Amino acid sequence: MVKACEVTDVGGVDDKGFNQKAYKGVTDAVEQLGVEGLVLESQAETDYATNIQSFIDQGCNIVVTVGFLLGDATMEAANANPDTPFTIVDYAYGENEDGTPQIANNNVLGQIFNTDEAAFLAGYLAAGMTKTGVVGTFGGINIPPVTIFMDGFYRGVQKFNADNGAEVEVLGWDPAKQKGLFTENFESLDDGRTFAQNLVDEGADVVMPVAGPVGLGSAALASELGPDKLMIIGVDSDQFESDTQNASVYLTSVLKNMDVTTFNAIQAVVDGTFEGGVTVGTLENGGVGLAPYHDFDAAVPQELKDQIETIKAGIIDGSIDVKM
């Protein structure tokens, strides 16, 4: 039986987002392909290499590593074990300074996602829904898989402003300087509450936390304040469905469908067709997307819904550049 083995980042497999969404790809493979699924949760960065090696020692047929921060540990393990397939979420390998490939044996499939495409739609939505004229975002750590959400969100707001003669302000991120608000962790719900409260104090009534479980603290605050004071935009998974305790505060979520790309990598091992390289999730192929508006559906004006669909079509056909 094929063993599919996931090593999580420090957020843990039940983070209601990033790691959990990737693990759904493993559990879907267990249900649909009959593989054996195993998981090791990293408590600290020092666990990454140890957990990966543990799975290699157990004879795993594919090792799934979740997160940009596992990039180095995954590369070292893959090069030391050329016959073991790996897939890593949020990382794409290139070349060393001397021009040689970082992955010597093409046994790693990198999964990257154009989340700025979906976050652009979320920014447009946020700008159309704010009553204060101020929206905000913050991240866990200043790394590309986090800041790409923030880039898209900021630029979506600017697109709304340009289209509608508005002046909605974005707090927490400056894409030109690549500087903004970061909790420097992906674990502390207290930080999520504090950062969201600070943004509310500065006038924001829509906030997008890009910080894994940290964002659950922001959602808990929004539940207490009520939707008139604070709406949350989730990330990675549809957090209306995963964070049921605070479901009513989620305006939408920026979806990053790691479950699909992870499942596909496992299926390729089962089928004997696995190849290394890179797979990219986009709006066009369904790798990224915007979740339904759920409880806010009636509150989102039809004109705004139509504008967002037009923007989505423009991003897909290339007439709208989310990196403007």
Q: What is the pLDDT of residue 11?
A: 81
Q: How far apart are CA 11 and CA 19, in angstroms?
A: 7
pLDDT at residue 17 above 90?
no
Q: Are 205 and 134 in contact (CB under 8 A)?
A: yes
Residues 269 and 239 in one domain: no
Range of the domain at 152: 115-255+293-317
Question: What pairing do the DSSP bridges indicate for beta strands 231-236 and 250-256?
Answer: parallel
pLDDT class of 31 with cuts at 50, 70, 90:
very high
- The total number of structural domains in the chain stands at 2
pLDDT at position 18: 81
Mark whether 101 and 147 lie in a shared domain. Answer: no
Residues 145 and 217 in one domain: yes
**Pairing mode, strands 36-40 and 206-210:** unpaired
My answer on whether 93 and 157 are in the same domain is: no
Residues 79 and 121 both lie in one domain? no
- Model confidence at 227, pLDDT cuts 50, 70, 90, reads very high
SS3 content of the chain, % helix, strand, coil (to 5): 45, 20, 35
pLDDT for residue 294? 98
Q: What is the pLDDT of residues 183-211, one digit of tens each?
A: 999 999 999 999 999 999 999 999 999 99
Judge whether 43 and 10 are in contact, CB under 8 Å: yes
Q: Are residues 222 and 173 in the same domain?
A: yes
Give the separation between CA 110 and CA 205, rounded to whole angstroms.
36
Q: 123 with 246, same domain?
A: yes
Query: Span 112-122, mean pLDDT?
Result: 97
pLDDT of residue 207: 98
Whether 105 and 131 map to the same domain: the answer is no
Domain of 243, CATH number, reads 3.40.50.2300
Q: What is the pTM of this model?
A: 0.90
